[in-house]
Amino acid sequence: MVKPVTGRHLFVCTNGRSSGKPACGPRGGDVLVAAVQQALLARGAIDILVTPCSCLGPCFDGPNAVIYPDGTWYAGLEPADAADLADHLVAGRIFAAKASERPGGDREDAAPGGSDPR
Protein backbone atom coordinates (compact mmCIF):
# COMPACT_ATOMS: atom_id res chain seq x y z
CA MET A 1 0.00 0.00 0.00
CA VAL A 2 1.28 3.47 -0.92
CA LYS A 3 1.51 5.83 2.02
CA PRO A 4 0.46 9.40 1.15
CA VAL A 5 2.91 12.20 1.80
CA THR A 6 1.60 14.39 4.57
CA GLY A 7 4.27 17.11 4.54
CA ARG A 8 5.48 19.62 2.01
CA HIS A 9 7.55 18.81 -1.06
CA LEU A 10 10.49 20.94 -2.24
CA PHE A 11 11.64 20.74 -5.85
CA VAL A 12 15.07 22.27 -6.50
CA CYS A 13 16.40 22.85 -10.00
CA THR A 14 19.68 21.01 -10.42
CA ASN A 15 19.81 21.26 -14.19
CA GLY A 16 23.42 20.82 -15.23
CA ARG A 17 23.10 21.60 -18.92
CA SER A 18 23.17 25.09 -20.28
CA SER A 19 21.94 26.19 -23.68
CA GLY A 20 23.42 29.66 -23.41
CA LYS A 21 21.62 30.30 -20.12
CA PRO A 22 22.97 29.82 -16.59
CA ALA A 23 22.32 26.33 -15.22
CA CYS A 24 21.09 25.95 -11.62
CA GLY A 25 23.00 22.77 -10.77
CA PRO A 26 26.52 24.18 -11.12
CA ARG A 27 25.37 27.47 -9.57
CA GLY A 28 24.56 25.75 -6.27
CA GLY A 29 21.37 23.74 -6.85
CA ASP A 30 23.09 20.40 -6.22
CA VAL A 31 24.67 21.59 -2.97
CA LEU A 32 21.38 23.22 -1.88
CA VAL A 33 19.50 19.90 -2.11
CA ALA A 34 22.00 18.23 0.22
CA ALA A 35 22.01 21.19 2.62
CA VAL A 36 18.20 21.24 2.92
CA GLN A 37 18.10 17.46 3.43
CA GLN A 38 20.68 17.78 6.22
CA ALA A 39 18.73 20.64 7.85
CA LEU A 40 15.55 18.55 7.79
CA LEU A 41 17.28 15.48 9.22
CA ALA A 42 18.68 17.60 12.05
CA ARG A 43 15.10 18.63 12.89
CA GLY A 44 13.77 15.09 12.65
CA ALA A 45 11.42 16.07 9.80
CA ILE A 46 10.77 12.77 8.05
CA ASP A 47 7.47 13.49 6.27
CA ILE A 48 8.92 16.15 3.94
CA LEU A 49 10.35 15.42 0.51
CA VAL A 50 13.25 17.20 -1.23
CA THR A 51 13.60 16.35 -4.89
CA PRO A 52 16.22 17.52 -7.37
CA CYS A 53 14.63 18.27 -10.73
CA SER A 54 15.40 19.61 -14.15
CA CYS A 55 14.74 23.15 -15.34
CA LEU A 56 11.97 25.06 -13.53
CA GLY A 57 12.06 27.93 -16.03
CA PRO A 58 13.64 31.20 -14.88
CA CYS A 59 17.30 30.23 -15.51
CA PHE A 60 18.76 33.69 -14.98
CA ASP A 61 17.26 33.85 -11.47
CA GLY A 62 18.52 30.49 -10.27
CA PRO A 63 19.04 28.33 -8.46
CA ASN A 64 15.25 28.11 -8.26
CA ALA A 65 12.89 26.00 -6.18
CA VAL A 66 9.19 25.54 -5.54
CA ILE A 67 7.38 24.15 -2.51
CA TYR A 68 4.13 22.22 -2.86
CA PRO A 69 1.33 22.12 -1.96
CA ASP A 70 1.91 25.79 -1.06
CA GLY A 71 2.96 26.80 -4.58
CA THR A 72 5.65 29.13 -3.22
CA TRP A 73 8.51 29.84 -5.60
CA TYR A 74 12.04 30.81 -4.62
CA ALA A 75 14.88 32.27 -6.72
CA GLY A 76 18.54 33.14 -6.28
CA LEU A 77 18.99 30.46 -3.66
CA GLU A 78 22.28 29.55 -2.00
CA PRO A 79 23.26 26.62 0.23
CA ALA A 80 23.26 29.08 3.16
CA ASP A 81 19.47 29.41 2.64
CA ALA A 82 18.88 25.78 3.65
CA ALA A 83 17.74 26.58 7.22
CA ASP A 84 15.21 29.15 5.98
CA LEU A 85 13.83 26.69 3.42
CA ALA A 86 13.62 24.04 6.14
CA ASP A 87 11.63 26.53 8.25
CA HIS A 88 9.12 26.85 5.41
CA LEU A 89 8.96 23.11 4.91
CA VAL A 90 8.44 22.35 8.59
CA ALA A 91 6.48 25.35 9.89
CA GLY A 92 5.09 27.02 6.76
CA ARG A 93 7.05 30.27 7.29
CA ILE A 94 7.74 31.82 3.88
CA PHE A 95 11.36 32.87 3.36
CA ALA A 96 10.44 36.35 2.13
CA ALA A 97 13.98 37.40 1.20
CA LYS A 98 14.11 34.83 -1.61
CA ALA A 99 10.40 34.36 -2.47
CA SER A 100 9.73 34.84 -6.15
CA GLU A 101 6.90 35.13 -8.62
CA ARG A 102 5.60 31.98 -10.23
CA PRO A 103 7.15 31.84 -13.72
CA GLY A 104 4.62 33.20 -16.18
CA GLY A 105 2.32 34.26 -13.33
CA ASP A 106 1.04 37.52 -11.96
CA ARG A 107 2.48 39.15 -8.84
CA GLU A 108 -0.72 38.11 -7.03
CA ASP A 109 0.39 34.50 -7.57
CA ALA A 110 3.73 35.02 -5.77
CA ALA A 111 2.48 33.69 -2.44
CA PRO A 112 -0.51 31.81 -1.09
CA GLY A 113 -3.45 34.08 -0.37
CA GLY A 114 -2.52 36.46 -3.18
CA SER A 115 -0.10 38.57 -1.14
CA ASP A 116 3.44 39.14 -2.25
CA PRO A 117 5.83 38.45 0.64
CA ARG A 118 8.46 40.89 -0.63
Sequence ranges of the domains in the chain: 22-98
What pTM value is reported for the model?
A: 0.82
25-45 core/surface letters (b: 16 or more CB in 10 A; e: else): bebbbbbbbebbbebbeeeeb
22-98 carries CATH number 3.40.30.10 = yes
- Encode the chain (118 residues) as per-residue pLDDT tens digits: 655 556 899 999 999 877 778 889 899 999 999 999 999 999 999 899 999 999 898 888 889 999 999 999 999 999 999 999 999 999 999 999 999 988 866 545 444 444 444 3
Round to whole Å and give the CA distance between 13 and 22: 12
In 2-77, which ranges are continuous DSSP H helix? 30-43
